């Protein structure tokens, strides 16, 4: 019977995951317009709903689009043309979102960078993207002034986090932080946000550019599969494709919903999943410029988000916040984990937490990368199998190839995760070699991303992520995956978080080293150390056992909250 079912499914469905979707949901049609135009079209009957909530100061879609138009005029008044690159170096503030869509409206390209980047990183980004304007948070100006003259940037717009705050909060921000921040004197090369926006009022020419889905919209940044920094170009069609996928997967999200935007806008997950996607569904976005784990309970109870995307460290903050005990989460529709894999053990703990707080949904994992505009797979339509990252989103395709053979492997066999679909980037900016290393055209003309990630697919199309290539260790000839060791260690009741790296060994070549953070209230004692070692000896093959166990109060994190394995590796050089 099982053999017959397989034959029938192969005839009935083009892809193994198709059975999870209705026939008209298996593919999408990407609109041939800009991000701005798509967002406005989707909200043409939703203008009086809240678009942005910033410290409880609310902005309707009508006002929001008005501000975008004014900003677009201001950009044009200052000489920005279609195709120009404008760097946005901002935290999650209304000005960051407004300027992003305004840049898009006039046919220019937004280059999104971290406001806490080092001077050289900012300079390198401005130069390699050929940016001509910089919109920056005031906190970054001290670094910007040292390098901006070495770039093609002719105008810098300074924004304060307090600009859009409610009056009392704005005064409080200025007294406690704002007055201490070094900022420039007003000039034609250094303008302040309100002065800049005022320039748009007198600009009378049309500002909406004719933009197609294939034109670049944004430049984001990632180490890619090789770990070296790259400028990733994403098109209007790439990002709007995710919005169209969201219409199918998040079919019950509408203008009564509230999306929590804790993840930064300079990261694909934050920009696409926390902002553009939800707003295209009519939901409001709660902008959080700086996340404070200790005040997470206040954030949740004050704004009552129904759509909560995050990375694993965000959910650690949820679990360890002492004030979450009596918080009701019955109104939450989606809790989404991405950016890094969430262990099975932690997944179960989060689900238990949600259930105990009256939430009717489990946490759902997804998988993707910046080169694929964020999410590629998602545990939607009943595919959220524990430990999996779900099924390909509508229009996307996933296959698993042998690392050496580059041939598709059977279901259940681990290989490299390869991705095709409308969200695949056109390439890295001015980097043909690296683009050709990651993108490959098959004999049918289809472009595939070779992710550098290992995983496998079940017969029903559900995908499981296992680890990165570069995180695979060779221990005495055995392939050892640090993520597997981490998952086992984190199943121990005393462990909150864990990071495993490889360190050199005189005859085994490499051996694992585990960095461990214990749960709140648990002290590092010889008994705990021995318990964890014995637990590993019981649950891991001998060649997988860590050579060293290091106990820390915290682990280094990347800009978006992942464990920073490179920092751990640097400590061992």
Q: What is the mean pLDDT of the chain?
A: 92
Q: Which one, of 321, 335, 309, lies nearest residue 560 by Cα? A: 309
- Give 260's contacts (C-beta < 8 A, 6+ positions apart): 274, 286, 288, 299, 303, 305, 307, 308, 309, 310
What pLDDT score was predicted for residue 328?
Answer: 94
Lowest model confidence (mean pLDDT) among 35-44, 205-214, 307-316, 416-425: 307-316
* 337 vs 340: CA distance, rounded Å: 8
> What single string gives the DSSP state of each residue in 73-142?
HHHHHTT--TT-EEEEE--S-HHHHHHHHHHHHTT-EEEE--TT--HHHHHHHHHHTTEEEEEEEGGGHH
pLDDT of 357: 95
Q: Which CATH number fits domain 35-44+57-222: 3.40.50.980, 1.10.630.10, 3.90.230.10, 3.40.50.2300?
A: 3.40.50.980
57-97 pLDDT, tens digit per residue, is: 999 999 999 999 999 999 999 999 999 999 999 999 999 99
Residue position matching structure tokens 């996928």: 245
Sheet strands side by side (includes 374-378): 57-60, 50-54, 284-287, 258-261, 307-310, 334-337, 363-369, 374-378, 391-392
- 359: CB partners within 8 A, 6+ apart: 329, 330, 332, 335
In angstroms, the Cα distances linking 411 to 9, 32, 399 are 15, 36, 10
Query: What pLDDT, on a 0 to 100 scale, did the predictor assign at position 1?
Result: 40
Q: Are strands 85-89 and 57-60 parallel, antiparallel or unpaired?
A: unpaired
Cα 533 from Cα 527, distance rounded (Å): 10
- The superfamily (CATH) of domain 472-570 is ANL, C-terminal domain (3.30.300.30)
Given pLDDT bands bounded at 50, 70 and 90, which one contains residue 406? confident
How many other C-beta atoms are found inside a 10 Å radius of the C-beta of residue 290? 9
pLDDT over threshold 60, residue 225: no
Give the Cβ contact number of residue 480 at 10 Å.
Answer: 23
Task: Specify the DSSP element, H or E, that contains 449.
Answer: strand 447-457
Q: What is the pLDDT of residue 170?
A: 86
Please give the radius of gyration of the chain, using alpha carbons only, rounded to the nearest integer: 24
Q: What is the DSSP letter of 446?
A: -
What pLDDT shows up at residue 558?
82
Opening angle at CA 360, ends 355 and 361, nearest 5: 95
Angstrom distance (rounded) from CA 562 to CA 267 = 12
pLDDT, position 230: 87
Say if residues 38 and 243 touch (Cβ distance below 8 Å). yes
Q: How confident is the model at residue 315 (pLDDT cuts 50, 70, 90)?
A: confident
Pull the structure tokens for residue 409. Answer: 């492997």
More confident residue, 491 or 2: 491
Encode pLDDT of 149-197 as tens digits: 999 999 999 999 999 988 988 888 888 888 888 888 999 999 999 999 9
Q: How confident is the model at residue 234 (pLDDT cuts 50, 70, 90)?
A: very high
DSSP summary character for residue 477: T
Report d(CA 483, CA 323) in Å as an integer. 31
Distances (CA, A) of 529 to 64, 170, 267, 492, 503: 54, 48, 37, 11, 20
Give the pTM. Answer: 0.86
Domain 35-44+57-222 and domain 472-570, same fold? Reply is no
| Residues belonging to the chain | 573
- Given the DSSP bridges, would you call strands 190-192 and 216-222 parallel, antiparallel or unpaired? unpaired
**For residue 2, is pLDDT > 60?**
no
Which of 521, 549, 519 has its CA nearest to residue 533? 549
The band of 8, judged by pLDDT with boundaries at 50, 70 and 90, is low
- Whether residue 114 is predicted with pLDDT greater than 90 in this model: the reply is no
* Domain ranges (residues) in the chain: 35-44+57-222, 472-570
Rounded distance, CA 327 to CA 169, Å? 25
Collapsed DSSP state (helix, strand, coil) of residue 412:
coil
CA distances from 114 to 6, 57, 117, 135, 556 (A): 48, 24, 5, 12, 17
């Amino acid at each position: 019977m099982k053999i017959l079912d397989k034959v029938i499914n192969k005839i009935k469905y083009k892809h193994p995951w198709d059975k999870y979707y209705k026939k008209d949901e298996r593919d999408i049609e990407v609109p041939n317009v800009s991000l701005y135009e798509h967002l406005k079209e989707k909200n043409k009957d939703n203008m009086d709903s809240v678009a942005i909530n910033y410290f409880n100061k609310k902005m309707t879609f009508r006002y929001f689009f008005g501000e975008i138009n004014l900003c677009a005029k201001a950009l044009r008044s200052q000489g920005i043309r279609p195709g120009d690159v404008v760097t946005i170096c901002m935290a999650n503030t209304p000005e960051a979102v407004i300027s992003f869509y305004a840049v898009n409206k006039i046919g220019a390209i937004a280059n999104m960078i971290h406001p806490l980047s080092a001077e050289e990183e900012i300079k390198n980004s401005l130069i390699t993207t050929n940016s001509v304007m910089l919109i920056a948070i005031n906190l970054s100006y001290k670094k910007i002034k040292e390098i901006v003259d070495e770039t093609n940037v002719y105008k810098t717009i300074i924004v304060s986090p307090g600009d859009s705050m409610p009056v009392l909060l704005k005064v409080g921000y200025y007294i406690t932080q704002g007055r201490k921040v070094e900022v420039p004197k007003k000039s034609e090369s250094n303008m302040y946000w309100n002065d800049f926006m005022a320039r748009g009022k007198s600009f009378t020419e049309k500002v909406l550019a004719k933009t197609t889905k294939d034109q670049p919209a944004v430049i984001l940044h990632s180490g890619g599969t090789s770990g070296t920094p790259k400028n990733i170009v994403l098109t209007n069609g790439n990002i709007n494709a995710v919005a169209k996928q969201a219409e199918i997967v998040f079919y019950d999200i509408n203008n009564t919903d509230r999306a929590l935007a804790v993840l930064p806008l300079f990261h694909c997950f934050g920009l696409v999943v926390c902002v553009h996607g939800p707003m295209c569904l009519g939901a409001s976005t709660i902008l959080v410029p700086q996340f404070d784990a200790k005040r997470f309970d206040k954030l949740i109870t004050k704004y009552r988000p129904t759509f909560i995307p995050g990375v694993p460290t965000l959910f650690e903050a949820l679990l360890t916040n002492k004030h979450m005990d009596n918080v009701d989460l019955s109104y939450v529709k989606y809790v989404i984990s991405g950016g890094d894999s969430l262990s099975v053990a932690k997944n179960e703990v989060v689900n238990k937490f949600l259930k105990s707080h009256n939430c009717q949904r489990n946490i759902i994992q997804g998988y993707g990368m910046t080169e694929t505009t964020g999410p590629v797979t998602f545990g939607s339509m009943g595919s959220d199998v524990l430990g999996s990252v779900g099924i390909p989103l509508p229009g996307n395709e996933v296959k698993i190839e042998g690392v050496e053979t580059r041939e598709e492997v059977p279901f259940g066999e681990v290989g490299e995760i390869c991705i095709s679909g409308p969200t695949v980037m056109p390439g890295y900016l001015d980097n043909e070699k690296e683009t050709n290393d990651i993108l490959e055209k098959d004999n049918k003309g289809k472009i595939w991303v070779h992710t550098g990630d290992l995983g496998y697919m079940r017969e029903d199309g559900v995908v499981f992520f296992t680890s990165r290539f570069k995180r695979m260790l060779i221990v005495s000839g055995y392939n050892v995956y640090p993520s597997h060791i981490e998952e086992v260690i984190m199943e121990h009741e005393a462990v909150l978080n864990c990071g495993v790296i490889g360190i050199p060994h005189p005859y085994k070549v490499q051996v694992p080293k585990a960095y461990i953070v214990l749960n709140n209230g648990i002290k590092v004692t010889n008994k705990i150390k021995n318990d964890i070692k014995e637990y590993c000896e019981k649950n891991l093959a001998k060649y997988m056992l860590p050579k060293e166990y290091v106990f820390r109060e915290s682990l280094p994190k990347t800009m978006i909250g992942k464990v920073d394995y490179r920092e751990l590796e640097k400590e061992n050089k």
